[in-house]
């Protein structure tokens, strides 16, 4: 956010509510962080509501606990189980429907989603990078996905620099964080008394202009830069390289696949929390009166038995082949599809794995000895 | 392709079953016609491509197109009754309605093979995606060299279109080699593995193209044999099958390494997929 040509302003903590008000004035529903069921989630904000302060999330393999931030900041938490993905790529939706009349004739029609302008406050750099990958898949790899496009176009993204990464974070090693670089409408970096704010789009510039902020001082901008450097340095996990394609595809029979398969429950949590996973299943939901049927799609996981199902046999009948499919897709064949790895270092698959399998540890063990 | 833009994206289009043929106890053929006459007139496909067929209230399945691309008033699909959708499709009769999206994917490289011998290797119902190639070659016989049709089945009674194989075998410059692992009374062809027949195939490896479709084990064995006889890898093609739900490279189920089989295939050059075919689970 410091490389943007736009001059940065300073939004004091006391005026954070005015940002939310400015967004609501422009017709946006506003989502912001809230603690629910022991985790940070994105929840709709009321007009008079302040964002929670002092929330932090301690994360480790198979571990996520809300804690208190000693500095009482708004954005001291690293991330929650979900952020933007469900708001652009709906977990479940109808894609078309069909009516059948008494004579048996079929009438098909598209079911475009009803969408409303939506601002998300507190988007992390890893999730912006992940959204760019979802955009590449749903909008630019062939046909435009009309449902994704409709949900995506209405988003206004307020990114916030991560100052206190969790132990599971490794966005510095994937090159995607901790400071947002692109893809936002507004970017904030939180200091002890307020936010350095910069716009990244025309919509963001308009909101910033309406707030009429004082310019950020050189010292404040330098503090933000140093904060980003410190947050990157604080990350303890890393991937062994940005392109592990050849290293992984050259080790498809490595014994480590058996070892990780013995631990993996094939529950699919990693794919559910991953901000770049795009697999979805399609299914028909016929109406009870028999006169119509909705064709739906729903997030799917390569860990499920049905993912590799083919008439009469399963391409991936065992957990070893499913874990290998997930890891080689995410870190290897994603390069063939989208020109980069499918991992943005958010670390959710580590925290939300019930047995604490660590993607960075598995990738390192399998590619050990390879030149990155 | 005029019909393509609105046929393959979004919701299916209504089509009517115009004819149904029982090919064998578990295999049937549906001839379909799009209800929108303009869409039917504009519909074009290349041999090797597939459609998504929708059974009302049940769901969609990818089925390769077996009809002749020159026949403009119907779209043919030969289907094995295997899962929920195909068992339901098996019960349809002329006049019944289905949904259709397509055609999808990359078909056989028929433009590249002009002037050369064509070797077709199929196993089981793998013959369906290749029958349209046979029609294509026979209609333009002067453009191609020898036509070699190698078909393997498990049981003699699994062989569908038996009369057609008899007819093709009598054509000039056409060789038909059929094998059944288990024969039956009056079975005129080979009893044993289809791979045992490759030595009998007469083609010029320096000017031939081979196209394979069927079980992956059979295709691997066929590839070894054909490459061993001097066929260059660049002239060996195969059609892959994977779980397909969206047919436009989006739902993720059909991924084979970095390829989406529905969009980048189903026809691949051997070199594109041989590394992954050596490993189970991709």
| Tens-digit pLDDT profile for residues A81-110 | 999 999 999 999 999 999 999 999 999 999
Domain end: B48, B69, B104, which one?
B104
CA-based nearest distance B262→chain A, Å: 12
B120 and B53 share one domain: no
Query: Are both B131 and B270 inside the same structural domain?
Result: yes
- Which of A:104-123 have CB within 8 Å of B? 104-110
State the best of A99, A101, A108 to mutate against chain B, taking most chain B CBs within 10 Å. A108
Q: Nearest-5° angle of CA B105, CA B111, CA B112?
A: 105
CB contact under 8 A, B281 and A284: no
Average pLDDT of A122-130? Answer: 97
Residue B30 belongs to a domain: yes
pLDDT at position B7 over 50: no
pLDDT of residue B269: 97
Please check the confidence at residue B13 and state whether its pLDDT lies above 50. Answer: yes
Rounded Cα distance between A247 and B72, Å, is 49
List pLDDT tens digits, range A12-46. Answer: 999 999 999 999 999 999 999 999 999 999 999 98
Distance, CA of A300 to CA of A72 (rounded, Å): 38
Distances in Å between the Cα of B94 and the Cα atoms of A252, A318, B196 are 49, 42, 41
Using omega within 30 degrees of 0 as the cis cutoff, is the peptide bond preceding A178 cis?
yes
Over residues A166-201, the pLDDT tens digits come to 999 999 999 999 999 999 999 999 999 999 999 999
Question: Do B173 and B207 share a domain, yes or no?
Answer: yes
Task: Supply the CATH number for residue B57's domain.
Answer: 2.40.30.10
Q: What local confidence, expressed as pLDDT, does residue A2 receive? A: 56
Query: pLDDT tens across A292-308, in order?
Result: 999 999 999 999 999 99
From A105's Cα to the closest Cα of chain B, the distance in A is: 6
pLDDT digits (tens, 9 = 90+) for B25-64: 889 999 999 999 999 999 999 999 999 999 999 999 999 9
Domain check: are B70 and B124 in the same one?
no
Residues B267 and B205 in one domain: yes
A99 touching chain B per CB within 8 A: no
Q: How many CB atoms lie within 10 A of CB A287?
A: 13
Q: Are residues B29 and B133 in the same domain?
A: no
CATH number for the domain including B222?
A: 3.40.50.80
Looking at the structure, tell me whether residues B67 and B150 fall in a common domain: no
Is residue B49 domain-shared with residue B172, that is, in the same domain? no
Q: Is the pLDDT of residue B95 over 80?
A: yes
**B219 belongs to a structural domain:** yes
From the number of C-beta atoms within 10 Å of its C-beta (0-12, 13-18, 19+), residue A113 rates as middle
Number of domains observed in the structure of chain B: 2
| Parent domain of B75 | 4-104
DSSP of B8-77, one letter per residue?
A: SSSS-EEEEEEEEEEEETTEEEEEEEESSHHHHHH----TT-EEEEEETTTEEEEEE--S-TT-TT-EEE
Q: Which residues of A touch B275 (CB under 8 A)?
A: 249
B127-157 confidence digits (pLDDT tens) = 788 888 998 899 889 999 999 999 999 888 8
Is pLDDT above 50 for B6? no
- Please report the pLDDT score of residue B112 as a whole number: 76
The string of pLDDT tens digits covering residues A195-220 is 999 999 999 999 999 999 999 999 99
User: Across the interface, do A308 and B86 touch by the CB < 8 Å criterion?
Assistant: no
Which residue from A minimizes the CA distance to B248? A143
Query: What is the ipTM for the molecules in this complex?
Result: 0.94
> Distance (Å, rounded) from C-alpha A270 to C-alpha B208?
47
Supply the pLDDT for residue B129.
80
Of A154-163, A337-346, B135-144, which range is least confident?
B135-144
Q: CA torsion B43→B44→B45→B46, rounded to 10°?
A: 180
Cβ separation B258–A333 shorter than 8 A: yes
pLDDT above 80: residue A75: yes
| pLDDT score recorded for residue A276 | 98
Q: Are residues B45 and B137 in the same domain?
A: no
pLDDT band at A5 (very low <50, low <70, confident <90, very high): low
**Chain A residues lying within 8 Å of B56, measured CB to CB:** 98, 100, 106, 293
Average confidence score pLDDT of chain B: 91
A278 CB within 8 Å of a chain B CB: yes
C-beta neighbour count of B144 within 10 angstroms: 19
CB contact under 8 A, A279 and B253: yes
How many residues make up chain A in this entry?
A: 372
pLDDT of residue B180: 92
Cα separations in angstroms, A340 against A138, A168, A243, A251, B41: 16, 21, 7, 19, 42
Separation of alpha carbons A122 and A80, rounded Å: 11
**How close is the nearest chain A Cα to the Cα of B163, in Å?**
27
Instruction: List the single residue in B245, B248, B255 with the smallest CB-CB distance to A329.
Output: B255
**Per-residue pLDDT for A151 more than 80?**
yes
The last residue of a domain, from among B51, B77, B104 = B104
B126 within domain boundaries:
yes
A312 contact B CB<8A:
yes
Judge whether A294 is closer than 8 Å to chain B, CB to CB.
Answer: no
Residue B61 belongs to a domain: yes
pLDDT at res. A3: 55
Cα distances (Å, whole numbers) of residue A181 to A132, A343, B172, B212, B255:
12, 16, 67, 48, 31
Which residue among B80, B104, B128 closes a domain?
B104
Q: Which residues pair with B177 in a beta bridge?
A: B150
Query: Is position B282 within any domain?
Result: no
What's the confidence (pLDDT) of residue A343? 98
Radius of gyration of chain B (CA): 18
Match 């008439």 to its residue by tokens.
A311
For A137, the closest chain B residue by CA position comes to B250
Q: How much is the pLDDT for B160?
A: 86
d(C-alpha B81, C-alpha A322), whole Å? 28
| pLDDT for residue B2 | 32
Please judge whether A300 and B252 are an interchain contact, meaning their C-beta atoms are less than 8 angstroms apart. yes
Per CB-CB distance under 8 Å, the chain A contacts of B9 are 143
Chain B's closest residue to A297, CA to CA, is: B251
Q: A328-333 — which CB contacts under 8 Å span 24+ positions?
A: A328/A248, A328/A249, A328/A252, A328/B257, A329/A302, A329/B255, A330/A274, A330/A276, A330/A359, A331/A239, A331/A244, A331/A245, A331/A248, A331/A363, A332/A244, A332/A245, A332/A246, A332/A248, A332/A249, A333/A245, A333/A249, A333/B255, A333/B257, A333/B258
The contacts of residue A313 (CB under 8 Å, 6+ apart) are none
Residue B192 pLDDT class (50, 70, 90 cuts)? very high
**Mean per-residue pLDDT, A299-318:** 94
- Among the partner-chain residues B249, B251, B253, the one whose CB lies closest to the CB of A142 is B249
Same domain, B25 and B92: yes
* Banded model confidence at residue B5, pLDDT cuts 50, 70, 90: very low
- Range B151-178 average pLDDT: 91
Q: What are the C-alpha distances in Å from B173 to residues A7, B115, B148, B168?
A: 77, 13, 8, 10
Backbone angles phi, psi at A251, to 5 degrees: -130, 45
Whether residue A371 is predicted with pLDDT greater than 70 in this model: the reply is no
Q: CB atoms < 10 A from the CB of B64, how many?
A: 28
pLDDT at residue B255 above 60? yes
Are residues B88 and B35 both part of a single domain? yes
Please give the pLDDT value at position A277.
Answer: 98
Q: Which of A193, A200, A182 is nearest to A224 (CA)?
A: A193
Q: Out of B58, B255, B281, name the one closest to residue A284 (CB).
A: B58
B130 burial class (0-12, 13-18, 19+ CB within 10 angstroms)? buried
- Determine the residue among B4, B10, B50, B154 to mutate to test chain A binding: the one whose Cβ has the most chain A Cβ atoms within 10 Å: B10
Could you tell me which of A138, A112, A136 has the C-alpha nearest to residue A280? A138
Q: Is B5 exposed, middle or buried (0-12, 13-18, 19+ CB in 10 A)?
A: exposed
Structure tokens at B236: 């060996």
Do residues A137 and A304 touch, judged by C-beta distance below 8 A? no
Chain B neighbors of A318, CB-CB under 8 A: 281
Q: Which residues of chain A have a CB within 8 Å of the CB of B54?
A: 98, 295
Taking the CA of residue A23 and the nearest CA in chain B, the distance in Å comes to 33
The residue among B253, B254, B277 with the most chain A CBs within 10 A of its CB, best to mutate, is B253
For B235-249, what is the mean pLDDT? Answer: 96
pLDDT at B1 over 60: no
Residues B76 and B115 in one domain: no
Where does the pLDDT of residue B8 fall: very low under 50, low under 70, confident under 90, or very high at 90 and above?
low
Is the model more confident about B103 or about A48? B103
Bridge partners, A195 (sequence order) = A11, A190
Chain B contact set for A138 (CB, 8 A): 250
With CB atoms and an 8 Å threshold, state whether A105 touches B13: no
């Amino acid at each position: 956010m410091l490389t943007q040509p736009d001059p940065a302003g300073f939004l004091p903590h006391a005026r954070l509510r005015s940002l939310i008000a400015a967004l609501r004035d422009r017709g946006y529903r506003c989502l912001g962080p809230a603690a629910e069921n022991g985790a940070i989630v994105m929840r709709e904000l009321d007009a008079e509501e302040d964002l929670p302060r002092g929330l932090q999330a301690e994360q480790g393999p198979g571990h996520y606990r809300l804690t208190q931030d000693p500095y009482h900041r708004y954005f001291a938490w690293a991330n929650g189980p979900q952020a933007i993905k469900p708001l652009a790529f709906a977990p479940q939706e109808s894609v078309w429907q069909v009516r059948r009349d008494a004579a048996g004739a079929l009438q098909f029609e598209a079911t475009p989603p009803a969408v409303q302008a939506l601002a998300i406050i507190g988007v992390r750099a890893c999730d912006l990078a992940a959204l760019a990958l979802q955009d590449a898949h749903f909008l630019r790899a062939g046909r435009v996905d009309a449902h994704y496009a409709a949900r995506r176009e209405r988003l206004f993204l307020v990114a916030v620099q991560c100052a206190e990464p969790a132990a599971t974070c490794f966005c510095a090693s994937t090159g995607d964080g901790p400071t947002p670089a692109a893809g936002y409408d507004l970017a904030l970096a939180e200091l002890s008394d307020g936010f350095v704010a910069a716009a990244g789009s025309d919509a963001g510039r308009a909101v910033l202009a309406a707030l009429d902020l004082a310019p950020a001082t050189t010292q404040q901008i330098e503090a933000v830069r140093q904060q980003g450097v410190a947050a990157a340095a604080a990350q303890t996990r890393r991937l062994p390289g940005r392109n592990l394609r050849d290293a992984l595809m050259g080790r498809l029979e490595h014994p480590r696949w058996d070892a990780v398969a013995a631990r993996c429950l094939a529950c699919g949590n990693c794919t559910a929390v991953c901000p770049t996973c795009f697999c979805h299943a399609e299914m028909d939901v016929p109406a009870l009166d028999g006169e119509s049927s909705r064709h739906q799609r729903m997030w799917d996981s390569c860990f499920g038995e049905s993912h590799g199902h083919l008439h009469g046999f399963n391409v991936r009948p065992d957990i070893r082949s499913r874990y290998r499919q997930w890891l080689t897709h995410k870190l290897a064949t994603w390069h063939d599809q989208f020109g980069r790895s499918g991992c943005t270092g958010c670390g959710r698959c580590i925290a939300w794995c019930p047995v604490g399998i660590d993607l960075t540890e598995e990738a390192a063990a399998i590619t050990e000895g390879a030149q990155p | 392709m005029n019909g393509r833009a609105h046929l393959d994206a979004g919701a299916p289009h209504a089509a009517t079953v115009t004819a149904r043929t029982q090919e064998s106890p578990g295999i049937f053929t549906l001839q379909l016609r799009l209800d929108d006459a303009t869409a039917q007139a504009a519909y074009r496909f290349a041999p090797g491509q597939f459609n998504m067929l929708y059974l009302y209230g049940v769901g969609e399945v990818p089925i390769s197109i077996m009809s002749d691309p020159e026949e403009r008033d119907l779209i043919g699909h030969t289907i094995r009754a295997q899962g929920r959708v195909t068992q339901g499709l098996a019960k349809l009769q002329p006049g019944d309605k289905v949904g259709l999206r397509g055609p999808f994917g990359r078909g056989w490289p028929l433009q590249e093979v002009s002037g050369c011998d064509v070797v077709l290797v199929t196993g089981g119902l793998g013959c369906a995606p290749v029958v349209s190639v046979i029609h294509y070659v026979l209609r333009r016989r002067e453009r191609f060299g020898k036509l070699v049709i190698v078909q393997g089945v498990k049981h003699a009674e699994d062989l569908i279109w038996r009369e057609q194989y008899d007819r093709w075998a009598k054509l000039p410059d056409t060789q038909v080699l059929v094998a059944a692992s288990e024969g039956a009374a009056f079975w005129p062809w080979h009893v044993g593995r289809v791979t045992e027949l490759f030595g009998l195939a007469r083609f010029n490896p320096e000017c031939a193209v081979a196209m394979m479709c069927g079980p992956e084990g059979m295709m691997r064995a066929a590839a070894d044999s054909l490459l061993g006889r001097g066929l260059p890898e660049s002239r060996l093609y195969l059609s892959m099958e994977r779980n397909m739900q969206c047919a436009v490279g989006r739902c993720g189920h059909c991924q084979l390494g970095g390829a989406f089989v529905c969009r980048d295939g189903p026809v691949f050059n051997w070199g594109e997929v041989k590394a992954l075919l050596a490993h189970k689970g991709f």
